[in-house]
Amino acid sequence: MHRVINSATEFRIIHVLAMVGCFAGYVVDTSAHEFWIEPDASQIEIGAGFSATLNVGQDLAGSTYSYLPQRFERFTVTSGGSTKPVESRVGDNPALQMSVDQPGLQIIAYQSKIEGLTYTSPEKFEQFLDYEGLDWVLEEHKRRGLPPENFRENYSRFAKSLVQVGPYNPDTSSEDRAVGLPIELVALNSPFDPEREQIDVQLLRSGQPLDNIQIATFQRNSDGSVSRRLTRSNADGLAEIQISGDGFILISAVQMEAVEPDQETVALNGRVPVWQSLWASLSFQLNTD
């Protein structure tokens, strides 16, 4: 016997629960994929509105996440000296929709809940490490006496995106800054400065620089093509990002950390992880016109 849905609210709740169920089966497939925030515009006029989607995929293509509070620890917008939570309705997609009445840089930040996966073959683990420039992990994995397969990894996403409201000004109102994510990329000069020749970023872990970490830059050009360029952070966590032309930019880095049995860990599906990966991303849209 089919039950009749009597209201739009009830329909919305059922729809959201269905999406949550779909995501529950999607975790393993998305673990080695990028996660990013994508605003529909990163340079807007004062008083104008913009939206932003939460995305997971590869080469700047994939799926979007709806606004589901049970999936994140933090989803905020920082501007000036204040930070406010994103207040959307459950199930909204795009997950963020807002307008801004004051000039300055809007820093959107997202911290996911901890998720996890089990590597069922050595090949999948090795492919992930090779792609993310984490070759040292394989030797450490063997040194720790860990099995080559059927082991657990926890992972968390820490995404930022920048939106400039009003014209760029060479003062603190247009500067990116650390907003307290456990791992984050900070732009040390504004991508919206018309005089910039490159973008300098710093990778931080708990506020301290991370050195010798692969940093990947993805650029989706106006013709739809996507490029990927690699560099590494130096001893101060710094890297120079070369960007030419306009398009959507995603800067991404992954840090892998060992989890020991005597550490406080989060067991998912009854299995204690032996590794945790932390994914940092920074994104923005560049327009040259």
Q: Which domain holds residue 165?
A: 8-286
Q: Does any domain span residue 228?
A: yes
Mean pLDDT of 74-102: 96
28-42, 103-117, 191-205: least confidently modelled range: 28-42
Q: Does any domain span residue 2?
A: no
The answer to whether residue 9 scores a pLDDT higher than 50 is no
Digit-coded pLDDT (tens) for 45-87:
999 999 999 999 999 999 999 999 999 999 999 998 899 999 9
The answer to whether residue 131 scores a pLDDT higher than 80 is yes
One-character DSSP codes across the chain: -PPPP--HHHHHHHHHHHHHHHHHTTHHHHTTSEEEEEES-SEE-TT-EEEEEEEEEETTEEEEE---GGGEEEEEEEETTEEEE----TT-SSSEEEE--S-EEEEEEEEEPPEEEEE-SHHHHHHHHHHTT-THHHHHHHHTT--SSSEEEEEEEEEEEEEEESS--SSGGG-------SEEEEESS-TT-TT-SSEEEEEEETTEE--S-EEEEEEE-TTS-EEEEEEE--TTSEEEE---SSEEEEEEEEEEEE--TTS----BTTB--SEEEEEEEEEEEE---
Q: Does any domain span residue 276?
A: yes
Structural domains in the chain (count): 1
Q: Does any domain span residue 3?
A: no
Digit-coded pLDDT (tens) for 213-255:
999 999 999 889 999 999 999 999 999 999 888 899 999 999 9
pLDDT band, residue 22 (cuts 50/70/90): very low
Q: Does any domain span residue 233?
A: yes
Which percentage of the chain shows pLDDT scores above 90? Answer: 77
pTM of this structure: 0.87
Mean pLDDT of 156-176: 93
The pLDDT assigned to 287 comes to 82
Mean pLDDT, the chain, as a whole number? 88
pLDDT band, residue 32 (cuts 50/70/90): low
Q: Does any domain span residue 194?
A: yes
The answer to whether residue 27 scores a pLDDT higher than 70 is no
Q: Does any domain span residue 1?
A: no
